[in-house]
């Protein structure tokens, strides 16, 4: 199932980390629930790649998450060395990320990983905010080594981490990291299951209305929770906020499941309000709406 709409409207009251804006970007994005493996963006603009759809974008999918996904139970006080791969995208625990590796330094990294535990850190970077301090471990679950020493990888997001210090930058970035886990709910009265249910309801409404605006047949939206507990479900929801990596990074950095779900709920609620207004305009001026699109 794939759904796209014009604007995802984050909540103006949402808070973020100090390295990110308090008001997330309002750039257009897609909310992707495509059950197929995503297609990664090229990692080097000057190399030839296998043919792919030029309009394709990175997509995290519902099938990317295990039925009862839990991140690994690493002690949050542990500090370990981890090779890092800065990318212009955000990986969430439980999500699937395909990558093509051909830069020399990352081919060296892959040769090292093939003799160790096949785990490295994916960390978001862009020209505006620089490289983030919080990322997610990507574990290589499938790989293919080609004759020219390139690699095709399928990675799965595992635990989150925070960079505490840089060990070295050459031939590739290695840092000491500590593990991040969501804090326990501050109150036993906090209904995380109920909040997750509200988020799922808003997601279904956004999908339904977006499909209508896109001229797709309206049909019942299936189970989006897929037996996920609230914390992994909150990561899944964040992974579908396609095209808004800085908002995704803010969600990844939160250490409170309730706060993450609440932020996602407000974002989806505002988006639904936008889509409702757009649908009303389309009903009144159908030809104008089709021409503007």
Give the mean pLDDT of 237-246: 92
Give first-to-last CA distance, the chain, whole Å.
Answer: 22
More confident of the two residues 225 and 71: 225
Euclidean distance between CA atoms 211 and 272, whole angstroms? 12
Residue 33: burial class (beta carbons within 10 Å; 0-12, 13-18, 19+): buried
% residues pLDDT > 90 (the chain):
52
Note the pLDDT of residue 59: 33
pLDDT tens readout for residues 97-156: 999 999 999 999 999 999 989 999 999 999 998 999 999 999 999 999 988 889 999 999
Give the pLDDT band (50/70/90) at residue 30.
Answer: low
Stronger pLDDT, 70 or 269, i.e. the higher one:
269
Cβ-contact 167, 81 below 8 angstroms: yes
The Cα-based distances of 242 to 24, 57, 60, 231 in angstroms read 13, 9, 8, 19
DSSP letter assigned to residue 23: S
Helix (H) or strand (E) holding 267: helix 257-284
**Calpha distance 227→68 (Å, rounded):** 6
Give the three-state DSSP class for 263: helix
Least confident of 52-61, 73-82, 150-159, 256-265: 52-61
Mean of pLDDT values over 203-220: 86
Residue 190 — pLDDT band, cuts 50, 70, 90?
confident
Q: Is 161 exposed, middle or buried (0-12, 13-18, 19+ CB in 10 A)?
A: buried
Q: What is the distance between the alpha carbons of residues 145 and 192, in angstroms, rounded to a whole number?
A: 43
pLDDT, greater one: 42 or 156: 156
Q: In sequence order, which residues have a C-beta less than 8 Å from that of residue 2 and are 6 or more positions away?
A: 32, 33, 34, 59
CA atoms within a 13 Å half-sphere pointing along the CA-CB vector of 94? 25
Is residue 8 scored above 70 in pLDDT?
Answer: no
* pLDDT of 74: 61
Q: What is the pLDDT of residue 288?
A: 55
Residue-level pLDDT at 12: 42
180 DSSP β-pair partners: 160
Q: What are phi and psi of 50, to 5 degrees?
A: -60, 150
Residue 229, Cβ density class (10 Å: 0-12 exposed, 13-18 middle, ≥19 buried): middle
Spatial separation of the C-alpha atoms in residues 118 and 37, rounded to whole Å: 20
Q: Which two tokens stand for residue 293?
A: 């699109």
Mean pLDDT calculated for residue range 267-276? 91
């Amino acid at each position: 199932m794939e759904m796209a709409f014009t604007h995802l409207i984050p909540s103006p009251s949402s808070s973020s980390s100090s390295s990110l804006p308090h008001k997330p970007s309002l750039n257009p994005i897609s909310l992707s629930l495509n059950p197929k493996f995503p297609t990664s963006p090229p990692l080097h603009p000057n190399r030839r790649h296998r043919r792919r759809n030029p309009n394709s974008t990175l997509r995290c999918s519902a099938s990317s998450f295990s039925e009862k996904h839990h991140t690994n139970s690493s002690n949050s006080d542990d500090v370990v060395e981890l090779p890092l791969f800065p990318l212009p995208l955000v990986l969430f625990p439980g999500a699937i990320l395909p990558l093509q590796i051909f830069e020399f330094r990352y081919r060296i990294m892959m040769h090292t990983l093939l003799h160790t535990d096949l785990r490295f850190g994916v960390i978001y970077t862009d020209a505006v905010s620089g490289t983030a301090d919080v990322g997610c471990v990507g574990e290589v679950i499938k790989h293919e080594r080609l004759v020219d020493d390139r690699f095709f990888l399928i990675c799965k997001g595992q635990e989150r981490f925070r960079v505490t210090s840089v060990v070295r930058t050459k031939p590739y970035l290695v840092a000491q990291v500590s593990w991040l886990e969501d804090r326990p709910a501050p109150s036993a009265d906090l209904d995380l299951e109920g909040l997750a249910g509200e988020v799922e309801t808003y997601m279904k409404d956004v999908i339904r209305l977006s499909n209508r605006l896109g001229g797709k047949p309206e049909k019942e939206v299936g189970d989006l929770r897929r037996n996920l507990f609230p914390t992994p479900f909150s990561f899944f929801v964040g992974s579908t906020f396609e095209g808004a990596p800085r908002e995704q990074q803010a969600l990844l950095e939160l250490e409170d499941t309730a706060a993450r779900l609440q932020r996602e709920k407000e974002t989806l609620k505002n988006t639904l309000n936008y889509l409702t207004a757009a649908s009303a305009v389309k009903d009144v001026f159908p030809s104008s709406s089709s021409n503007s699109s």
